[in-house]
A and B are shown apart, each in its own frame.
Chain A
Amino acid sequence: KQEVTQIPAALSVPEGENLVLNCSFTDSAIYNLQWFRQDPGKGLTSLLLIQSSQREQTSGRLNASLDKSSGRSTLYIAASQPGDSATYLCAVVQGGKLIFGQGTELSVKP
């Protein structure tokens, strides 16, 4: 059974710092991996999608990597801003459905 784990559960950093969020999964037979952002009480916004054949994807200040063999993905956020404060969720696609981690709650202090 696929299990997705995100570490840390919460993170607080000062504005301007570069940071890394971690995601691990137990079964490497995934189709792709998505990173999402969720603001309190809101829906999910897709940030990056990495196909299983890819190693990384970039969008603006965000870079996500994928290492299927080790069951790991990282989301790198450069030059963090207070507006980046949110919960970040990673999810693997397996069997046509998304399997989510618990999320990392990020707080960026001005």
Chain B
Amino acid sequence: DAGVTQSPTHLIKTRGQQVTLRCSPKSGHDTVSWYQQALGQGPQFIFQYYEEEERQRGNFPDRFSGHQFPNYSSELNVNALLLGDSALYLCASSLTDLFEQYFGPGTRLTVT
């Protein structure tokens, strides 16, 4: 049984560009959450998707948007990239929003 998978592993973008990150949840999970982890910090909640809808959102600007597909996989899109968006982006899946969350390996985004 594959766990949570994320792609790509690493990404380098230029300031002002747009980026899309992808996540496939653990088999049987229906809820996907995205987190941003800056170097030396704990992960910060971006948003959560359930039944293809954004269920809740953290304190991130509208430049951060997402989508969940019928197969529960999810995308995170970031527009107008800033240097401060450089971070490790983590995807977590769970069965509903209350059960144990399982994390993927993350995507390392570098904005130059």
Query: A residues touching B (Cβ–Cβ < 8 Å)?
Result: 4, 31-32, 34, 36, 41-46, 49, 89, 91, 93, 95-103
Contact = CB atoms under 8 A, between A and B. Distances in A.
Interface residues of B, number: 27
A36 B44 CA distance: 14
User: By CB atoms of chain A within 10 A, which of B35, B103, B108 has the most?
Assistant: B103
B94 to A, nearest CB: 9
A105 to B, nearest CB: 9
Contacts of B43: 44, 89, 91, 98, 100
A94 B84 CA distance: 27
A97 B97 contact: yes
B41 to A, nearest CB: 6
A43 B106 contact: yes
B104 A43 contact: yes
Interface string B76-112: 0000000000001010100001101111111010000
Contacts of B92: 44, 98
Contacts of A101: 42
A42 B40 CA distance: 13
